[in-house]
């Protein structure tokens, strides 16, 4: 590989890496956005379902899910949040696209 080709390859790789880095800073992770959506849905429905038999269990699952999401464990968080909503009889909203 000659010097020009090597320099061009390095420049292209640098631009690609910096482009990916800036894009990841601008767009929230889908898992994070989904977690936020489910947390907001639960919080909005919580008062209306405060007397449900599984309200305490659902609140614990919501808190566990929020902690998982905060730690970056989005799949576990989404699962716990979905369970929390179902425990109080609320159908989880569809993911935003």
Q: What is the pLDDT of residue 45?
A: 97
Q: What is the pLDDT of residue 28?
A: 55
Ranges of residues in the chain with a pLDDT under 50 are 6, 15, 22, 24
**If you count DSSP H runs as helices and E runs as strands, how many of each does the chain have, helices first?**
4, 0
Nearest partner of 68 among 28, 36, 24, judged by Cα: 36
Residue 50, SS3 per DSSP? coil
Q: What is the pLDDT of residue 13?
A: 53
84: exposed, middle or buried (Cβ count in 10 Å: 0-12, 13-18, 19+): buried
Could you tell me the residue ranges of all domains in the chain? 30-87
């Amino acid at each position: 590989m000659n010097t020009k080709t090597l320099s061009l390859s390095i420049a292209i790789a640098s631009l690609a890496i910096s482009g990916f880095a800036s894009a990841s800073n601008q767009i929230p992770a889908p898992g994070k956005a989904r977690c936020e959506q489910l947390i907001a849905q639960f919080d909005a429905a919580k008062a209306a379902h405060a007397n449900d038999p599984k309200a305490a269990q659902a609140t614990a699952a919501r808190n566990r899910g929020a902690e998982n999401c905060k730690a970056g464990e989005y799949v576990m968080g989404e699962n716990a949040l979905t369970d929390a909503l179902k425990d109080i009889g609320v159908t989880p909203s569809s993911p935003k696209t």
